[in-house]
Homo-oligomer: A and B are copies of this chain.
């Protein structure tokens, strides 16, 4: 451990060793500078890393991991640090490997619709790099102008357009990986569906616990010919949710389909003052349709009919980019708005089957009343991916604990109806104690064994994903031992 090396007086040697790998300007060690890296987007967990390293190449990453393996130093990889589940939370006596300088585009192959990038590149840059030629990169987390592709791969990020186009894993064709012993692996490739085990799929969403992706081959898509956004408002949440089910039921797959409830609408109107979301609506529904012009025209008409059928009061349609942006602006500002109408907010991320939307939202309303905290609902309705925002005041003693409890209740509700404890923010440090609500001990044990294939010394992002007794009051992390005895025979 770093701490041990410090005690032994080897600290300077140790710094020099890493400095030789990444260059002196690639090492951050001053306490005030390390402050930036104490947490990611989930600020309720904090841990100062001993050291931050900024490699530039696959070889540098491999050399760092070889040294960590040799000295048994735990490490955490970090992209832009925008994650919301504490996946990039540093580990005590560990180092943080930041990919910010690995921000190159390695290759663009428009003919085969793919791009190879380093992990530190910003999500939005990918689209910018190919936009001129008429292409774009589909997964669009709301942090897309600041989050990194490496982080997106780690967390299998989603976004508004994932209803039609799928999440990150559907757009990663191949990866160059450095695994914790410093070996370099090439998984997947430039053609889809390679033979052998799908290690690409295994790695995407593994939250930095299996290694570091140093080159990422992404699929890029042709920009649609036509795009339109429809805004409809309803006097009941149920009507909005039924409209979502009806649209999907009619065989239409919109690019995105989002709902905001009355509390969110008013928060947004208070803060952004758009004037286009009616303050007295119980819910608004935003539907984006893209594709060929004729297709968009027909789908638009159908969506309109379905909104009317379910009692929509007003329906606005935006065809040009400027008006579309205006309709989306409120949705995109929703989280920030919640932060302005309340001293603090806690965003939860859970998934439910689309057909359970109405009933689960009612139960969330009941939780809100039971605990006496306002909960705003803004969500990817088409995917059943809820984002309840629990509004609270952190200066009130015990408030945060209560909010965490409400958040937990919401997740348990998601699991109860056949959903999931995470839609797109990952498990990280934040949700690992809910993993046993979703998975049996056999399921989790299998995942742990898979982890140990890559990470036998448990140096890669320890303390994430898997529940530990410390966090959850359960002895879930005990070793069965049995399987390892069997492995020893070979």
Contacts and interface: CB of A to CB of B under 8 A. Distances in A.
B452 A487 contact: yes
Contacts of A187: 443
Nearest to A483: B456
Interface residues of A, number: 91
Interface stretch (A18-26, A34-42, A335-343, A433-441): A433-441
Contacts of A179: 446
Given A299-B292, A449-B453, A202 B197 contact: yes
B418 A195 contact: no
A262 interface: no
Contact of A196 (B167, B169, B447, B457): B447
A424 interface: yes
A430 to B, nearest CB: 11
A194 B424 CA distance: 9
Given A294-B297, A295-B295, A193 B450 contact: no
**Chain copies in complex:** 2
Contact of A197 (B158, B249, B418, B450): B450
A111 B199 CA distance: 32
B183 A442 contact: yes
Contacts of A113: 248
Nearest to A179: B446
Most B CB within 10 A of own CB, among A355, A431, A490: A490
Contact of A487 (B418, B439, B484): B484
Contacts of A185: 440, 442-443, 446
A490 B456 contact: yes
8 contacts: A112-B354, A191-B420, A195-B420, A197-B206, A199-B446, A225-B251, A295-B295, A453-B453
B484 A479 contact: no
A125 interface: no
B193 A424 contact: yes
Contacts of A422: 195
- 6 pairs of A and B residues whose beta carbons are closest in the complex: A201-B201, A222-B251, A294-B294, A295-B295, A449-B453, A195-B422
A298 interface: yes
Contact of A111 (B245, B294, B451): B245
B486 A351 contact: no
B191 A351 contact: yes
A423 interface: yes
A439 B191 contact: no
A103 to B, nearest CB: 25
B431 A195 contact: yes
Interface in A294-319: 294-295, 297-299
Nearest to A425: B195
Interface string A196-228: 111101101110000000000000001111000
Given A111-B245, A442-B185, A479-B490, A420 B194 contact: yes
Contacts of A193: 156, 158, 167, 169, 205, 351, 420, 423-424
Contacts of A488: 484, 487-488
Contacts of A440: 185-186
